[in-house]
């Protein structure tokens, strides 16, 4: 809650300092409040995950998707106003939080003999939590910059049209990414429990399963893109997109390497090692930005795709090397129980 409030204040100040037009400022604030509600929901997701009730998280996200899609589509159809649609996102998120997340959270807390009304802010606990969460927050920021970097270099040099084509092809990985995130999140709690219990064998087995799953997903995606990529691009977008199959395959390859790296990120989170993944991700971003600066001016979209591939390859290699040291058996606590 504290960091969410601080984030809202930062967004508001940024809007004022940037001198945005009134409509753009209101739109930005509406989206910021929507994201704030999502972040508050993440607090309840943390309790759901701790109690291994991933079904609650899945239902909440599913209901949210349906509500958001329905609200935005209806509001845009009747008003054609993006600000109203953004306000609908906030209203839908708030309604979902109050109608679903809070009752489920109350149910779990009752099972632990606690009540929401009895929860109190304890500054030493909050201070420790902020310090532990800081590298994760910074890592998410760096990850966002990684996603945006190719577009930021493409836009001034090659225009909005090229950025649109590139972004459309890159966005196709979101569907696969959703599945990968779900599997990673489901593995996080068992891996954390295995680490806390000093069960190195189970932790390593879970990590291997994540790595093999990532390799399988990446191989399947690349094979599907090789066989049906041009047809998919033409059906999903336009015939012009289908002309860039080589770029699409490069993006799929880069995405596959990122999946591999994400398995090590989950392992680090399970062990509460949050700083070294931030350093690795920052180095990966710098490599990506350097490659974009070098390749995009003359190579356009293909240069951007190659830059993504090189950045992802560096990320996968760096995470593998760092993970081998971080996940060594000697770094595990003594076994306390067999889980």
Domains of the chain, by residue range, sit at 1-119, 142-330
CA separation for the pair 54, 59 (Å, rounded): 9
Q: If you average pLDDT over residues 176-182, what whole number do you get?
A: 79
Percent of the chain whose pLDDT exceeds 70? 94
Mean pLDDT for the stretch of residues 274-286: 93
Report residue 151: phi and psi, to 5°.
-70, -40
Which pLDDT score is estimated for 115? 66
Whether 169 contacts 233, CB under 8 Å:
yes
**Helix 200-236 with 173-196: angle, nearest 10 deg:** 170
CA 128 to chain centre: 24
Residue 98 per-residue DSSP state? I
Q: Which residue has the tokens 């490069």?
A: 250
In this prediction, residue 121 carries a pLDDT of 65
Q: Are 277 and 316 in contact (CB under 8 A)?
A: no
Count, residues in the chain: 339
| pLDDT at site 116 | 61
The predicted pLDDT at position 336 comes to 62
Q: What distance in Å separates the CA atoms of residue 182 and residue 204, rounded to the nearest whole number? A: 19
Is pLDDT above 90 for 80?
Answer: no
Tell me the per-residue pLDDT of 11-37, one tens digit each, with 9 for 90 and over: 778 777 777 777 778 888 888 888 888
Nearest to 73 by CA among 57, 92, 95, 94: 92
How large is the average pLDDT for residues 33-61?
A: 82
Indicate the pLDDT class of residue 117, thresholds 50, 70 and 90.
Answer: low
Question: Rounded mean pLDDT of 267-285?
Answer: 91
What DSSP string runs through 26-65?
HHHHHHHHHHHHHHHHHHHHHHHHHTT-HHHHHHHHHHHH
Lowest mean pLDDT among 41-50, 89-98, 123-132: 123-132
């Amino acid at each position: 809650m504290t960091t969410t409030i601080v984030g809202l204040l930062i967004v508001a100040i940024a809007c004022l300092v940037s001198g945005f037009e009134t409509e753009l400022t209101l739109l930005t604030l509406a989206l910021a409040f929507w994201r704030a509600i999502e972040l508050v929901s993440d607090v309840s997701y943390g309790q759901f995950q701790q109690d291994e009730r991933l079904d609650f998280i899945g239902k909440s996200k599913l209901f949210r998707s349906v509500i958001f899609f329905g609200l935005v589509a209806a509001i845009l159809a009747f008003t054609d106003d993006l600000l109203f649609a953004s306000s609908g996102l906030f209203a839908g998120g708030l309604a979902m939080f109050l109608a679903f997340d809070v009752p489920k959270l109350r149910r779990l807390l009752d099972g632990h003999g606690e009540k929401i009304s009895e929860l109190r802010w304890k500054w030493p606990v909050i201070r420790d939590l902020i310090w532990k969460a800081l590298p994760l927050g910074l890592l998410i920021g760096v990850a966002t910059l990684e996603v945006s970097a190719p577009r930021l270099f493409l836009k001034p040099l090659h225009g909005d049209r090229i950025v649109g084509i590139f972004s459309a092809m890159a966005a196709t990985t979101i569907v696969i990414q959703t599945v990968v995130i779900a599997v990673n999140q489901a593995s996080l709690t068992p891996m954390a429990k295995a680490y806390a219990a000093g069960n190195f064998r189970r932790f390593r087995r879970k990590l291997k399963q994540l790595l093999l799953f990532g390799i399988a997903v990446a191989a399947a995606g690349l094979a599907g893109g090789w066989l049906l990529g041009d047809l998919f691009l033409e059906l999903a977008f336009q015939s012009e997109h289908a002309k860039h199959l080589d770029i699409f395959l490069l993006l799929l390859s880069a995405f596959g390497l990122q999946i591999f790296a994400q398995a090590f990120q989950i392992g680090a989170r399970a062990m509460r090692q949050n700083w070294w993944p931030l350093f690795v991700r920052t180095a990966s971003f710098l490599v990506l930005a350097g490659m974009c600066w070098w390749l995009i001016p003359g190579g356009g979209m293909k240069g951007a795709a190659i830059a993504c591939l090189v950045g992802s390859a560096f990320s996968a290699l760096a995470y593998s090397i760092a993970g081998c040291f971080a996940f060594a058996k000697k770094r595990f606590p003594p076994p306390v129980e067999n889980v």
